[in-house]
């Protein structure tokens, strides 16, 4: 279980209890939020692990956006899939993250990197962090900053 805050160094039992309780609270919020997307159970568990360690600003950016949608599908079922897109709001386009269920069985670090990379795209609204930054480079960099570096080996 990943923690929202590093807790190994916390010696004070009251402070430690606070951080543990906070982690449980955040996880429950994430799990409740994800229910609406009806992701496969195994995939949902990985998404929780990634979202739980996102910076609070990023997590709240995604979790409070009613036009953000997560979706999963099995590419073996159909050659074409319908990817839902959230309703635009406040002049901003809807955002969505679509994940393949065929990630199941891949190494955990690859699965979580894919999730973090896609969440980074959503957070950056498919742009770079500056005008001339490539969106793929930006998503990889942000995912790495969050603790999910692009795996060196191709899976």
Residues in contact with Zn ion by the rule CB under 5 A: 136, 139
Which pair of tokens denotes residue 19?
């951080």
Buried b (16+ CB within 10 A) or exposed e, 120-140: bbbbbeeeeeeeeeeeeebbb
d(CA 118, CA 98): 8
Burial status of residue 86 (CB atoms within 10 A of its CB: 0-12, 13-18, 19 or more): middle
Q: Which residue has the tokens 């982690």?
A: 23
Which pair of tokens denotes residue 40?
């496969």
- Nearest approach in angstroms of CB 1 to Zn ion is 27
Q: Which is nearer to Zn ion, 4 or 120 (CB)?
A: 120
Q: Which is nearer to Zn ion, 94 or 135 (CB)?
A: 135
- Nearest approach in angstroms of CB 114 to Zn ion is 9
Q: Which is nearer to Zn ion, 119 or 139 (CB)?
A: 139
- Nearest approach in angstroms of CB 7 to Zn ion is 32
Q: Which is nearer to Zn ion, 74 or 136 (CB)?
A: 136
Q: In 1-155, which residue ranges form alpha helices assigned H by DSSP? A: 13-35, 41-52, 56-63, 108-123, 135-145
- Nearest approach in angstroms of CB 80 to Zn ion is 20
């Amino acid at each position: 279980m990943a923690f929202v805050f590093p807790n190994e160094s916390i010696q004070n039992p009251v402070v430690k209890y606070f951080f543990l309780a906070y982690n449980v609270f955040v996880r429950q919020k994430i799990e409740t939020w994800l229910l609406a997307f009806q992701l496969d159970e195994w995939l949902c568990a990985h998404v929780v692990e990634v979202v739980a360690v996102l910076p609070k600003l990023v997590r709240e950016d995604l979790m409070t956006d009613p036009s953000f949608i997560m979706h999963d599908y099995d590419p073996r079922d159909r050659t074409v899939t319908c990817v839902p897109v959230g309703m635009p709001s406040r002049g901003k386009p809807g955002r969505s993250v679509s994940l393949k269920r065929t990630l199941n069985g891949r190494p955990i670090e690859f699965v979580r990197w894919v999730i973090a990379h896609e969440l980074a795209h959503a957070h950056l609204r498919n742009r770079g962090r500056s005008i001339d930054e490539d969106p793929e480079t930006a998503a990889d960099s942000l995912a790495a900053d969050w603790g999910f570096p692009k795996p060196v080996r191709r899976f």
